[in-house]
Amino acid sequence: MALNEEMQTEETERHSRGWKFTLHLIWNNPLMVVGLAAVCVLFVMAVFAPLISTHDPFKINPPQRLKPPSATYLLGTDVAGRDIFSRIVYGSRITLQVGITVIILALLIGYVFGIVAGFFGGGVDELFMRITDVFMSFPYLVLAMGLTVALGPSIQNAMLAMAVVWWPTYARLIRSEVLKLRGRPFIYASKGLGATNLFIILRHILPNSWVPVIVQASLDFGRVIMYAASLSFIGLGAQPPTPDWGAMISDGRGFLEQAWWYPTFPGLAIMVTILGFNLVGDGLRDIFDPRLRRR
Amino acid sequence: MKLWAYILRRLILIVPTLIGVTVITFTISRLIPGDPIAVSLGPYASQEQIQFMRAKWGLDKPLTIQYALYLRNLSRGDLGVSIHSKRSVLDDLKDFFPATFELTTVSMFISIVLGIPIGIIAAVKKNRWPDFVTRLYALAGVSMPVFWLGLLLLLVFYLKLGWLPGVGRLDPHLSPPTSITGLYLVDSLITANWRVFWDALKHILLPAFSLSCVIMATISRMTRASMLEVMTENYIKAARAKGLSERVVIYRHALKNSLIPVVTIIGVMYGVCLAGAVLTESIFSWPGLGRYAVKAITFLDLDAIMGFTLVATLIYVFLNLIVDVAYLVIDPRIKY
């Protein structure tokens, strides 16, 4: 009993040191701090959009169309006289919503397939690998395009299509994690004690396999946003008058000569967002890298 | 001889992948809500046309038969008819392919020719300013939407500075070179038509650069990482120890061995390039497959889009095969 308690305190101590160490690692990675700042700004924009925006993002005001950036219209106005800054602020909600939904959907499908294939192996696994092979032999954007057209262009269908394109990456990653864990002694021990497969999966496989998955997901976040913007740009994502960044660039491209600010600023917002998530993803990968940890 | 056996085996292994790909494209083309035939023929189709198409695709028969018919039509090169151009999708794709091939090849060329040296410089000057500059460029490069970069280049170099033409493959006053390969740059070179060559080159620069930005960034980072890894190997120490100049060590010993992972990424990048072409071409009015696909999307021209999807995927699958074969050529140690 005493020994058990001692082990427990030691465990918590190691954990708290671990967290402090993690914070220390984050702080010493300036690029990750920059990335985290960009991501925080995005979340703040999304949550406090009504407070931050200076105008109604949907309010059409024809006399004020295509006005250059000024004190009233921080980033200028678009073809309908709507304030571009406010539309960008509200657009952050859509960007985050798309990124989170697609990643979660893809993770859910990926987990189910990855665990089933990795845990049970054999013919199921073989079949599963061939299925992911087929999905991965499509260029991502092209398959997402085809799917969205067939389902009908809308932001929901674009998200669904992207999740369908994305899940094989996660399924494979999770499968390989499960394969690594499956042969470990503690799994055998658990089986020997009479644990059911479901218990082993929930209690042992899931908690021990999430780190590489989180790293991959954070690295993918930027790419999902990029693909979503691309789909919106070719008219397959958010439909007007939704303040979607990709759709705003698409609307603004015709006015490049008269109103350079129109497509430029939404694109800048996309770039900063993706850069932020990429930096965070890179940073997380370094932090969870055991070679770096042991240093 | 072994190489041929390997290529043959890989070609045979492609068959199940292709079957899987057609199953997916078949499923997608059956996904559309409502009557697929009515949708694919557009709103002005007559009742007879609908009946004819129904019989052709066997829509009254079970799904497995429908799939078999789909495969039969595909094997005859029948990808359906585009609602927009009213022509067979295969003919359309054939017409638009050379422009895309030219654009993607030139941008891959730019990315490789600039990306690898940039990577080498970053590796050699590790943690000094050239390394930081390329890192910054690589980070920005992969975060920029390709269509946005295209618009910015268009704004600066075409609209503001007027240095380069912004739309199309050729000045409308010039007539295209005699079609031999369909690639303007090659055809004008063969026929020694310098004016057309020069004009075509100027037209391809902006779209090719906007496409190559991401790819160049990826290739240069990959080259850097791979070079740094190779530079720690013992044979590099040995080469230095026997008094070879740093130039020879880097270019003759390190570079050759660090190219293997770079080749993989180049194969993958060609696929990225193809997808990027969809976005870039529509910005620069480049008359290729990508612009065709985007136009098809605006008209919800399903046959055309599925045709494009299938062709793009085929190119992608074969590219991966070429990459795998390239490994064997670059690194004789790899055995399959």
- Which residue in the set A147, A153, A270 is minimally distant from B145, CB to CB? A270
- Which residue in the set B32, B142, B294 is minimally distant from A234, CB to CB? B294
Q: What is the ipTM of this complex?
A: 0.84
CB contact under 8 A, A141 and B275: yes
pLDDT grade for B40, boundaries at 50, 70 and 90: low
Beta bridge partners of A83: A77
A140-191 per-position pLDDT tens digit: 888 898 899 888 888 999 999 999 999 999 999 999 888 888 888 888 888 8
Instruction: Identify the closest residue of chain A to B291 by CA–CA distance.
Output: A234
The answer to whether B187 and B119 have CB atoms below 8 angstroms apart is: no
Prediction pTM value: 0.86
Mean pLDDT across the stretch B169-189? Answer: 80
Buried b (16+ CB within 10 A) or exposed e, A103-112: bebbbebbbe
Beta bridge partners of B88: B81
Mean pLDDT across the stretch B9-21? Answer: 85
Query: B196-203: which pairs have CB atoms within 8 A and are 24 or more residues apart?
Result: B196/B170, B199/B165, B199/B170, B199/B171, B199/B174, B200/B169, B200/B170, B202/B164, B202/B165, B203/B164, B203/B165, B203/B168, B203/B169, B203/B170, B203/B171
Six token digits for residue B263: 């080749």
CB contact under 8 A, B139 and A264: no
For the four alpha carbons of A273, A274, A275 and A281, in that order, the dihedral sign comes to positive
- For residue A295, the model assigns a pLDDT of 41
pLDDT grade for A48, boundaries at 50, 70 and 90: very high
B75-131 per-position pLDDT tens digit: 888 888 887 777 888 988 988 999 999 999 999 999 999 999 999 888 888 888 888
Residue A293: pLDDT over 70 = no
Mutate to test the interface with B, among A128, A131, A134 (most CBs of B within 10 A): A134
| Distance between CA atoms of residues A113 and A98, nearest Å | 23
The answer to whether A144 and A106 have CB atoms below 8 angstroms apart is: no
pLDDT grade for A284, boundaries at 50, 70 and 90: confident
Residue A229: pLDDT over 90 = yes
- For residue A230, the model assigns a pLDDT of 92
| Distance between CA atoms of residues B44 and B59, nearest Å | 20
Q: What is the DSSP letter of A53?
A: -
Beta bridge partners of A77: A83
Residue A7: pLDDT over 70 = no
Mutate to test the interface with A, among B23, B151, B273 (most CBs of A within 10 A): B151
| Distance between CA atoms of residues B47 and B51, nearest Å | 6
Mutate to test the interface with B, among A145, A156, A167, A249 (most CBs of B within 10 A): A145
B224-272 per-position pLDDT tens digit: 888 888 888 888 888 888 888 888 888 888 888 888 888 878 877 887 8
B201-225 per-position pLDDT tens digit: 889 999 999 999 989 998 998 888 8
